[in-house]
Structure 1
């Protein structure tokens, strides 16, 4: 009931109020900020604009005389030079079979490791850190000492822990019926 009364007062003489608002004078737009453009500078700007948009017949004639014909070049075989050849080293360790669907590698660039070699190096260092020191791993796999330190410090090989089954004395077990 109260909503109907409120609506009556809200909509009372609505059309006249709308026409009154529409008929009011619109507020004036704020004046633009005055700029201090020198007359010399403004003439330079207009001259540059005229020069850009002006038709230059000699240049247009030269442009029309140009004919470009393009063809895809045949790819020439790259010549192997002494500078382009990276030093490579044979792999120290491979996984049996075709691991991860990767083509079997025979060598890698110096300063790089294959996945299998990285796992082997990490595992060797973890199992025997006295024999597989930072220097020995770097020398064995032709790695940079800084990279080897980062590898051994930040990467840890997976560790499998086998938990022995509990005995009958330790816990209750469900018996088969």
Structure 2
């Protein structure tokens, strides 16, 4: 190990040798020249136009433009929905049908205590894990069609749920029982 420490010390010495002097040399070098401007930008010399003439031109009244602006007329109306011929009336959105939870966690666990029902076509986290576990343990009984019927799901969503999502699978590997040789103190 002493060679590693020695090597790092040598490299640190070489790296830090005369750092300040080298930095001053780099700073005092002549700066590179800027790239030449494109010819199209040089065709508009900025020095020829005084700033006062631009500000005067902005403040001048342009009668032809004003007359054209007066000819413009914008009329705006709210769109009328199909089937209505009067003023637009906001419709109250119908609530999606809801269903009671099949499974829930007891008590105040994970903040799910206040959820008592879910919209049809949706699952709570506990229900999703229960459905996936049932399908994994008994795939012939808990088919995607039965899951769709049980939880008011769309059949294609239930099929996708069983095809692409898997509950956690915990495998406990038992220790080896073989007699292993141990080193004994003598």
TM-score norm. by structure 1 comes to 0.51
- Deviation of 1:167 (Å): 1.6
Match 2:101 to one of 80, 91, 95 = 91
CA displacement, residues 56-91 of structure 1 (integer Å, 9 cap, x when unaligned): 89xxxxxxxxxxxxxxxxxxxxxx96x612111000
- Deviation of 1:166 (Å): 1.8
User: Cα distance 1:54–1:109, how it changes in 2: closer, same or farther (>3 A)?
Assistant: same
Counterparts of 1:144 and 1:128, CA distance in 2 = 21
Counterparts of 1:173 and 1:143, CA distance in 2 = 59
Counterparts of 1:174 and 1:92, CA distance in 2 = 58
* Residue aligning to 2:172: 162
User: Cα distance 1:166–1:92, how it changes in 2: closer, same or farther (>3 A)?
Assistant: same
User: Cα distance 1:50–1:141, how it changes in 2: closer, same or farther (>3 A)?
Assistant: same
Gaps of 5+ in 1: 1-28, 33-48, 58-79
- Deviation of 1:55 (Å): 11
Aligned length: 108
* Residue aligning to 1:150: 160
User: Cα distance 1:168–1:149, how it changes in 2: closer, same or farther (>3 A)?
Assistant: same
Are the counterparts in 1 of residues 105 and 112 from structure 2 also a CA contact under 8 Å?
Answer: no
Are the counterparts in 1 of residues 121 and 154 from structure 2 also a CA contact under 8 Å?
Answer: yes
Counterparts of 2:102 and 2:183, CA distance in 1 = 51
* Residue aligning to 1:130: 140
Structure showing greater Rg: 1
- Deviation of 1:50 (Å): 4.5
Match 2:111 to one of 97, 101, 108 = 101
Two-structure CA RMSD over aligned residues (Å): 3.5
Match 2:65 to one of 47, 52, 65 = 52
Are the counterparts in 1 of residues 132 and 162 from structure 2 also a CA contact under 8 Å?
Answer: yes
Gaps of 5+ in 2: 1-38, 44-61, 71-90
TM-score norm. by structure 2 comes to 0.49
Which has the bigger relative contact order, CA under 8 A and spacing at least 6?
1
Counterparts of 2:149 and 2:183, CA distance in 1 = 56
Counterparts of 2:134 and 2:124, CA distance in 1 = 15
